[in-house]
């Protein structure tokens, strides 16, 4: 049994801890903040590949109980034309389809489930350094405490401290020229089937909404923003001025976006979008990366949480079947790198279609309409949804 130190107590960290506990290791979570992420964050859609990966951990029923089915999506243009409708991946053999869930609800459920299974979490532990020997790892925190383990896994996200520890020259995240916002509202009467995600490539903004079973409208918007915003730039957009600015951008579309935004009491303050085309170094010795720390993808891929789940299950398999920690981390990278970098690339392509500029928008709408008039059936996103992990299959290590 290995004592595995996990830096980052969010969704990726919690699932990794549960998966490692399932195969007999002793994971310990270290969360930088002195409180949980309860009540924080917007919503996300868990794709069927991520839900399927939860099955061997016994987590799929728990996660399905948190949100609602999202089996299909539609695509439309700002001129009011609906182009197509298609399944959002799946369904799985047992009928499971993609699920839309509040990020906070998912985090809290996983945190509580990890604790129920015996995983210990320490809050207020911001990792600042780590050293390793041939037999173990020592992690150092901002409060000057230290702890020892057999491995250290960085599940600490986009600005990962673990990534900098194993590779001080690691590249910075890549800015994707979009701002994100969203919200929830009630009381509007829309002629939409609950659970169907409606996406509109508008004249100036990409807008999506879905009706929850209780009638609430959940929505998000991607606003093109060419230059990477500084914190002071984002500060100028926050407050009461953000709503009229967003309304000005969506009013020209023949869609319900303006009406939905107007009816929303609290709109999320904008935040920037980033991804990682590639992270050159995923591990050194007994220290490795997982989730966004290794391969952050644009939300346009719809795969962020699902990739974290796949990572967690694969990491657990590697540490189950490969006794040497360094070899297990190498096996993990071998199994995951090609897939996740393909997902990141597809997410970038999806995101680029949301911010083409005035001329590019006309070209995009023309070719999108033409392509979807006679769809080829070759969905470029299919490889993401159709991926499956064989939990029972042993992980083989190639001889050096």
CB 48 within 8 A of CB 90: yes
Neighbours of 94 (CB within 10 A): 8
Domain shared by 269 and 290, yes or no: no
The answer to whether position 363 is within a domain reads yes
Domain shared by 83 and 189, yes or no: no
How many Å is the Cα radius of gyration of the chain? 21
Domain shared by 104 and 207, yes or no: no
DSSP 8-state symbol, 55: G
Number of structural domains the chain divides into: 2
Q: How do residues 264-300 score in pLDDT, each as one tens digit?
A: 999 999 999 999 999 999 999 999 999 999 999 998 8
Q: What is the mean pLDDT of the chain?
A: 92
Domain shared by 62 and 167, yes or no: yes
| Domain containing residue 112: CATH number | 3.50.50.60
Between 121 and 89, name the one with better pLDDT. 121
Please give the average per-residue pLDDT across 236-243, as a whole number. Answer: 93
**What's residue 400's pLDDT?**
41
- Structure tokens belonging to residue 115: 């604790």
In the predicted structure, residue 19 carries a pLDDT above the cut 50:
yes
Q: How would you label 141-153 residue by residue, b for 16+ Cβ within 10 Å and e otherwise?
A: beeeeebebbbbb
Q: How do residues 356-381 score in pLDDT, each as one tens digit?
A: 777 677 677 766 677 666 655 567 88
Domain-ending residue, one of 241, 274, 307: 274
Q: How do residues 242-258 score in pLDDT, each as one tens digit?
A: 999 999 999 999 989 99
Distance between CA atoms of residues 179 and 152, nearest Å? 33
Map tokens 């609950």 to a residue.
194
The answer to whether position 394 is within a domain reads no
The answer to whether position 392 is within a domain reads no
Distance between CA atoms of residues 44 and 12, nearest Å? 14
pTM above 0.85, yes or no: yes
Q: How do residues 147-157 score in pLDDT, each as one tens digit?
A: 999 999 999 99
In the predicted structure, residue 316 carries a pLDDT above the cut 50:
yes
Question: Whole domain around residue 196: which residue ranges?
Answer: 177-274
**What's residue 354's pLDDT?**
82
Domain shared by 92 and 204, yes or no: no
In the predicted structure, residue 382 carries a pLDDT above the cut 50:
yes
In the predicted structure, residue 38 carries a pLDDT above the cut 60:
no
The answer to whether position 398 is within a domain reads no
Give the residue from 300, 335, 299 showing the smallest Cα distance to 317: 335
Provide CB contacts within 8 A for 155, sequence distance 6+.
6, 7, 8, 10, 12, 13, 16, 290, 291, 293, 308
Domain shared by 270 and 288, yes or no: no
In the predicted structure, residue 40 carries a pLDDT above the cut 70:
no
For residue 91, say if its preceding peptide bond is cis, omega within 30 degrees of 0: yes
E-only strand ranges, 150-230:
151-154, 174-185, 197-201, 206-211, 217-224
The answer to whether position 395 is within a domain reads no
Domain-ending residue, one of 233, 252, 274: 274
In the predicted structure, residue 9 carries a pLDDT above the cut 50:
yes
Please give the average per-residue pLDDT across 156-172, as a whole number. Answer: 97
**pLDDT class for 399, splitting at 50, 70, 90?**
very low
Please give the average per-residue pLDDT across 206-213, as a whole number. Answer: 96
Domain shared by 198 and 159, yes or no: no
């Amino acid at each position: 049994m290995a004592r595995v130190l996990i830096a980052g107590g969010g969704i990726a960290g919690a699932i990794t801890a549960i998966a490692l506990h399932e195969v007999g290791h002793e994971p310990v979570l270290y969360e930088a903040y002195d409180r949980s992420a309860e009540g924080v964050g917007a919503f996300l859609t868990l794709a069927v590949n991520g839900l399927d990966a939860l099955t061997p951990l016994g987590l799929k029923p728990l996660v399905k109980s948190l949100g609602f089915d999202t089996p299909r999506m539609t695509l439309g243009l700002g001129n009011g034309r609906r182009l197509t409708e298609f399944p959002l991946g799946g369904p799985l053999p047992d009928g499971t389809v993609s699920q839309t869930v509040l990020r906070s609800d998912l985090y809290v459920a996983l945190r509580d489930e990890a604790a129920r299974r015996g995983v210990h979490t320490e809050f207020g532990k911001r990792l600042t350094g780590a050293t390793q020997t041939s037999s173990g790892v020592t992690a150092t925190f901002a409060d000057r405490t230290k702890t020892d383990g057999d491995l250290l896994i960085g599940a600490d996200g986009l600005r990962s401290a673990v990534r900098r520890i194993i590779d001080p020259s690691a590249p910075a995240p890549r800015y994707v020229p979009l701002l994100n916002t969203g919200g929830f509202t009630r009381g509007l009467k829309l002629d939409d089937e609950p659970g169907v995600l409606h996406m509109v490539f508008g004249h100036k903004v990409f807008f999506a909404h879905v009706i929850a079973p209780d009638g609430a409208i959940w929505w998000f918007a991607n606003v093109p923003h060419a230059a990477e915003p500084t914190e002071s730039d984002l500060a100028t957009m926050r407050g009461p001025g953000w709503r009229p600015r967003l309304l000005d951008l969506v009013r020209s579309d023949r869609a319900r976006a303006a009406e939905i935004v107007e009816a929303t009491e609290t709109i999320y303050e904008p935040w920037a979008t980033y991804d990682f085309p590639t992270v050159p170094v995923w591990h050194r010795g007994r220290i490795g990366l997982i989730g966004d720390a290794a391969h952050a993808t644009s939300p346009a891929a719809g795969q962020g949480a699902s990739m974290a789940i796949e990572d967690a299950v694969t990491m657990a398999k590697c540490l189950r079947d490969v006794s040497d920690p360094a070899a297990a981390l190498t096996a993990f990278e071998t199994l995951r790198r090609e897939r996740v970098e393909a997902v990141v690339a597809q997410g970038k392509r999806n995101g680029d279609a949301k911010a083409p500029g005035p001329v590019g928008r006309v070209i995009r709408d023309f070719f999108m309409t033409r392509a979807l008039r006679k769809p080829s059936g070759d969905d470029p996103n299919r490889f993401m949804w159709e991926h499956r992990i064989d939990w029972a299959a042993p992980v083989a290590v190639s001889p050096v």
